Amino acid sequence: MFWTIGWQSSTRNTIQYLRNHPALKFHQNWCGLSMSKPRIAVIGAGLIGLSAAVCISETIPTCSVTIISDEFTPNTTSDVAAGMLIPHTYPGTPIYQQKQWFKETFDYLFAINNSSEAPSAGISLVSGWQIFKTSSSAELPFWSDIVLGFRAMTEMELKKFPQYRFGQAFTTLKCDCPSYLLWLEKRLKGNGGEVHAKRIANLWDLQNNYDIVVNCTGIGSRQLIGDLKIYPVRGQVLKVHAPWLNHFIRDGDGLSYIYPGIHNVTLGGTREKGSWNLSPDPNISKDIFDKCCALEPSLQKAQDIKVRVGLRPSRLAVRLQKEILVQGEKKLPVVHNYGHGSGGFSMHWGTAKEAARLVGECIATLQDSLSKAKL
């Protein structure tokens, strides 16, 4: 029953609309540098790498941006994700920072959803319920005033879930992951950016060809730069064809969920901390399907059921900071942007904007060094 599986170009007017929209307004503070064209390499072509590259290319149009990765859609961790904007809390990141990243991401995707780009970008609004077996466990989430129409479920709504005592209803955004990644890549190329397929084993290999490196390698940062604070959280999900479903359902524990999208419905899921196993487990697939059918019996009629497995790049806090690597007299500015875990889609544009700001600071430092060298 289960098996494993692995747009069109944007119009100029729509891209201009996106650039001019208040939620997408970019601050071009670094034009007019003495460096004619700073060269930026973004490592990683998943959601975080692509969004950072696009944001940098539009925030700092005087630079050149190149994405370098050995994996591209549909073979990235981001392709496995459900793409729902329902944040997961990072214990090591201040709540106000998480709320800012989420709001920036929500506003950005909401603007795309309100444009003609929505179908090709795979962005849709979806309403539904988050349900709890005890009312005492249902705290008001920090993002409740950002999503649309957040409220407590009515007694009539709760009758759909007789095993649950309390629930919250709201409308949020969903990304169809492969469509969105392809859309971001085409948007980057439209901005003059390049994409190279190559495995990077050492950041210093880039030093001769690039001025600044942006590290968006996710779980790969453990090996690439030796960050032992990042670890995998294995996720197994089912992608099914059930076009009659248009409301999401999420158990408050986050382990059972039904997320309808444009092309399929994602059923989940698992959170196996420390597991590197990418092989689907048939017993887990059956358990996921049974639990989701208990929440939505019509799923018994679902067809074209596929199993996907991904390793969430998890950390107590997203690593979003500058670092200057030193090797003898050589220096290599690096901006790290990784460790989003389960919250990548909810936070990606907010963290991309911060990464772009840090890249701008690196460029300003390089420009200052060049100016001093001329004196």
Q: Is 257 annotated as a binding residue?
A: yes
Q: Is 217 annotated as a binding residue?
A: yes
Can you tell me the distance from the alpha carbon of 113 to that of 191, in angstroms, rounded to the nearest whole number? 21
Q: Report the pLDDT averaged over residues 29-55.
A: 82
What percentage of the chain has pLDDT greater than the value 90?
Answer: 82
Residue 338 is part of a domain; what is its CATH number? 3.40.50.720
User: To 10 degrees, the CA torsion angle through 85, 182, 339, 53?
Assistant: -110
What single DSSP character describes residue 10?
Answer: P
Can you tell me the distance from the alpha carbon of 238 to that of 43, in angstroms, rounded to the nearest whole number? 29
How confident is residue 367, by pLDDT bands cut at 50, 70 and 90?
confident
Residue 241 included in any domain: no
Per-residue pLDDT, 256 = 95
Residue 169 included in any domain: no
Residue 112 included in any domain: yes
Residue 27 included in any domain: yes
Q: Is 165 annotated as a binding residue?
A: no
Q: Where are the alpha helices (DSSP H) in 225-343?
A: 282-295
How confident is residue 368, by pLDDT bands cut at 50, 70 and 90?
confident
Residue 38 included in any domain: yes
pLDDT tens figures, 238-260: 999 999 999 999 998 888 999 99
DSSP assignment of 33-91 equals: -SSSS-EEEEE--SHHHHHHHHHHHHH-TTSEEEEEES--TTSSHHHHS--B------T
Q: Is 59 annotated as a binding residue?
A: no
Structural tokens at position 238? 């089912």
Residue 53 included in any domain: yes
Structural tokens at position 315? 């950390």
Q: Is 298 annotated as a binding residue?
A: no
Relative to beta strand 148-152, strand 123-132 is: unpaired
Can you tell me the distance from the alpha carbon of 45 to that of 23, in angstroms, rounded to the nearest whole number? 24
Instruction: Give the domain range for residue 328.
Output: 2-120+180-230+315-374
pLDDT at 8 over 90: no
pLDDT tens figures, 127-158: 999 999 987 666 789 999 999 999 999 999 99
Nearest to 38 by CA among 3, 2, 71, 62: 62
Q: Report the pLDDT averaged over residues 38-47.
A: 97
Number of domains in the chain: 1
DSSP assignment of 295-309 equals: H-GGGGG-EEEEEEE
Residue 47 included in any domain: yes
Taking the model in full, what pTM does it have? 0.89
pLDDT tens figures, 180-202: 999 999 999 999 999 999 999 99
Nearest to 185 by CA among 195, 199, 196: 195
Q: Which amino acid is at 274?
A: G
Residue 187 included in any domain: yes
